Amino acid sequence: MTYEETYQRWLTEETIDNATKEELRAVTDEDDKKMRFSGYMTFGTGGLRAVIGAGTARMNLYTVAHATEGLARIIQETPGGAERGVAICYDSRRFSGQFARRAAEVLSAHGIRVYLFSELRPTPLLSFAVRHYGCIAGINITASHNPAEYNGYKAYWEDGGQLPPDHAAAVSKVIESIDIFKDVPAPSMADSSLITMTDESLDLAYMQNVLAERVNPEAIPTVSEELAVVYTPLHGTGGTVIPTLLKMAGLTRLHTVDAQMVPNGDFPSVKFPNPEFEEAFVLGKKIAEEVGSDLIIATDPDADRVGAMAKDKNGKFQCITGNQMGALLLEYITNAYEEAGTMPNEPYAVKTIVTSELSTRICETHGVKLYNVLTGFKYIGEIIKNHEDEGHGSFLLGFEESYGYLKGTYARDKDAVVATLLITEMAAYYKTRAMTLIDALEELFEKYGYFREEVFSIAMPGIDGQEKMDALMRTLRENPPLLIGTKKISVQKDYLTGTMTDIKAGTSSATGLPKSNVLLYETEDRNIVAVRPSGTEPKVKVYVLAAGEENDTALKNAHECADAMRTLLG
Residue 570 confidence class, pLDDT cut points 50, 70, 90:
confident
Give the pLDDT of residue 325: 98
Of 218-222, 502-506, 523-527, minimum mean pLDDT range? 502-506
Please, are residues 525 and 487 in contact by the beta-carbon 8 Å criterion?
A: yes
Please, are residues 496 and 518 in contact by the beta-carbon 8 Å criterion?
A: yes
Q: What is the distance between the alpha carbons of residues 20 and 18, in angstroms, rounded to a whole number?
A: 5
**So which residues are the catalytic ones?**
144
Residue 463 confidence class, pLDDT cut points 50, 70, 90:
confident
Task: Give the torsion sign (CA, 200, 206, 208, 211).
Answer: negative
Beta strands 306-311 and 317-320, pairing class:
antiparallel
Average the pLDDT over 50-57 and give the result. Answer: 96
- For the chain, the structural domain boundaries read 3-198, 207-448, 450-569
pLDDT digits (tens, 9 = 90+) for 298-334: 999 999 999 999 999 999 999 999 999 999 999 999 9
What pTM was estimated for this model as a whole?
0.96
Average the pLDDT over 529-548 and give the result. Answer: 91
Residue 376 confidence class, pLDDT cut points 50, 70, 90:
confident
Question: Measuring CA to CA, how many Å separate 157 from each of 312, 360, 374, 539?
Answer: 43, 30, 19, 28
Residue 190 confidence class, pLDDT cut points 50, 70, 90:
very high
Average the pLDDT over 87-102 and give the result. Answer: 98
CATH superfamily of the 450-569 domain: Alpha-D-phosphohexomutase, C-terminal domain (3.30.310.50)
The share of the chain scoring above pLDDT 70, in percent, equals 99
End-to-end CA, the chain? 36
Give the pLDDT of residue 270: 96
Q: Tell me which residue of 151, 435, 139, 103 sits closest to 265, measured CA to CA.
A: 151
User: What's the chain's average pLDDT?
Assistant: 95
Give the pLDDT of residue 167: 86
**Coil, strand, or helix at residue 483?**
strand
Concatenating the DSSP letter of every residue in 219-234 gives HHHHTTTT-EEEEE-T
* Class at the top of the CATH hierarchy for domain 207-448: alpha beta
pLDDT digits (tens, 9 = 90+) for 488-507: 999 999 999 999 999 988 99
Of 336-350, 419-433, 527-541, minimum mean pLDDT range? 527-541
Query: CA geometry: angle at 403 spanning 92 and 279, to 5°?
Result: 70
pLDDT digits (tens, 9 = 90+) for 259-305: 999 999 999 999 999 999 999 999 999 999 999 999 999 999 999 99
Concatenating the DSSP letter of every residue in 187-202 gives GGG--GGGEEE--HHH
3-198 shares its CATH topology with 207-448: yes
Pick the CATH number of 3-198 from 1.10.3720.10, 3.40.120.10, 3.40.50.300, 3.40.50.80: 3.40.120.10
pLDDT digits (tens, 9 = 90+) for 141-155: 999 999 999 999 999
Residue 164 confidence class, pLDDT cut points 50, 70, 90:
confident
